[in-house]
Structure 1
Amino acid sequence: MSDMKLGLQMWSIHDVCIEKGMPEALRLIREMGYEGFEFALGDCATLEERCGAKPAEVKKALQEYGVKAIGSHISFERLLEDPDPVLKDCVEYEVPYAAIAPIFYGDRTPFEEQRRLYKETVRLSRLFKENGIQLQVHCAAFGFLKDYKGRNTVEGMFEECSLEYLQPEFDTAWMICSEIDPHEYLAKYKGYVDILHLKDYHKIPEYSPYVLVRHNTICEENYGCGVGDDGVQDVGDIIKTAEKAGTKWIVTELWNEKNSLENARASADLIKKYL
């Protein structure tokens, strides 16, 4: 029996959060066996701006249904504009983690801009740490493009900030899409991958050597699927490796397509077999 816990990322059931409200969404996921919930703010600064939910009602529902607010996916662009409302929202919900996306599109971004954004990330990662929140990078596919030093962008972010201040939140779909072996990266960053996103997709019929073509094909042509739904990964093996790496939360991330609740439930049922 693993000590790892099971969470759900908000985008997976974003439609439910909007249509039924956050309290009902939290009740439904707890019934499925999810113990934690990770907010996803998109380009908004706060959860209330994202889905209209008041902090008091969300915190009441979290407590009532026994769901832990694990963290929040936040907008790096909004942080650059003004970090105060974003940080205040994270503090309000007492989340231990906050995640940003990779901060630029590899060497498609001018080198001076890359350097500037690295410096901003260092500053913001320390600001969050001072407020008791561990900043992470949710490693989307474009984070595996090369920076001006020839590093994968996410690895550049870790090196510039140090793993004390910025940690990985790997996403298995985008690792595999980017031809990164999840087992290799989980071992490489052992002790620093507190949250691992399990996301899956059906194998795409045509191969492209460029990661963003593969990424866009998956996103635009609806190859996303529920975790383990005849996807591209061995869920059980990845979870075993995550446990060895010290991961605390296995988080389901889905594509928010039709039947989001059904996919969330099926994914939970599968993952729980390995926890």
Structure 2
Amino acid sequence: MKVENIAIQLYTLREFIRTPADIAATLKRVAQIGYRAVQVSGMGPIEESELVAICQGEGLTICATHEPGDVILKSPEKVVERLSKLGCKYTAYPFPAGIDFADEASVQGLISGLDKSGAVLASAGQTLLYHNHAHEFIRSGNRTVLDRIYAETDPRNLAAEPDTYWVQYGGGDPVTWIEKLSGRVPVLHCKDYVVEPPDKPRFAEVGYGNLNWLAIVAAAEKAGTEWFVVEQDTCPGDPFESIKLSFDYLSKTFVS
């Protein structure tokens, strides 16, 4: 891992990126912490050209985005245009809103839609990823829905953005899933998992929870992961303090 490959998912800082002025101030703080890349998500309105200029000014690469799921499935050409403006190769389908994983037609519609939209992005030299939560670990026959999503799509059309917290929460093993998807995991969401009394799991700063990061990072590097993206859906205090703890852990533990 190189320090340039550690990114922050800006959804973590969504309360601080509502206006262009907020975005500029927040990205300055992100760069001061040491991050050199960002994933764009949860952001208020801003022209792509202005966002690119702010990032370039702070020495930040836009490594990936999350785009609205309905836009990805219904208007993938708009996603291609936006990524081109941002100078970005990767975007992820962020959340299966409106998908009933207990209904075969709904599941099949999602899988087919991802494959078709991914083909549009692939033809433009871009890559569609799937960002999992725990929903996808619902069983569908003798497999999970997440198994089906990757088994029933063309790897050229859909890659993975495994979320380590949600894999664990869903009863999976992050290392096993990364190994299973080797060569198909350009972006990894690094999110730790801790349990508080009496038995409630919550999001934690990377390296401060129960996940085995030595094994996770080793598996990801072997699988060809390009971007290690820190994300923390909720933070116990100041989100900037949380993302610094995560950055410091990853950079001090894994950067060679």
Give the TM-score range, shorter chain: 0.7 to 0.9
> Which deviations, in whole Å up to 9, do the C-alpha atoms of 1:69-113 show, x marking residues without a partner?
111112222334433433322221121101013647887432122
From 238, 254, 259, the counterpart of 2:238? 259
Instruction: Give how far 1:265 is off.
Output: 0.8
Distance 1:106 1:184 in 2: 26
2:189 matches 1:188: no
Q: Specify the alignment match of 1:26 in structure 2.
A: 27
Q: Specify the alignment match of 1:236 in structure 2.
A: 214
Q: Specify the alignment match of 2:152 in structure 1.
A: 160
> Which deviations, in whole Å up to 9, do the C-alpha atoms of 1:202-249 show, x marking residues without a partner?
215567xxxxxxxxx65xxxx2222222x1212233212221222111
Q: Which amino acid aligns with 1:18?
A: R
Instruction: Give how far 1:250 is off.
Output: 0.8
SS at match of 1:136: strand
Segments of structure 2 that go 5 or more residues without pairing to the other structure are none
Whether the 8 Å CA contact 2:162–2:189 is kept in 1: the answer is yes
Q: Which amino acid aligns with 2:230?
A: T
Q: Specify the alignment match of 2:17 in structure 1.
A: 17
SS at match of 2:18: helix
Q: Which amino acid aligns with 1:200?
A: D
Distance 1:63 1:104 in 2: 33
Distance 1:243 1:103 in 2: 28
Q: How does 1:40-55 map to 2 (within 5 A)?
A: 40-41=41-42, 50-55=43-48
User: Are the structure 2 counterparts of residues 226 and 5 from structure 1 closer, same or farther at C-alpha, using a change threshold of 3 Å?
Assistant: same
Instruction: Give how far 1:199 is off.
Output: 0.6
Q: Which moved more, 1:231-240 or 1:69-78?
A: 231-240
TM-score, normalised relative to structure 1: 0.82
Q: Which amino acid aligns with 1:17?
A: I
Instruction: Give how far 1:152 is off.
Output: 2.0
Whether the 8 Å CA contact 1:186–1:242 is kept in 2: the answer is yes
SS at match of 1:71: strand
TM-score, normalised relative to structure 2: 0.88
Q: Size of the alignment, in residue pairs? A: 252
Identical-pair percentage = 22
Distance 1:101 1:59 in 2: 22
Q: Specify the alignment match of 2:139 in structure 1.
A: 146
Q: Specify the alignment match of 1:74 in structure 2.
A: 67
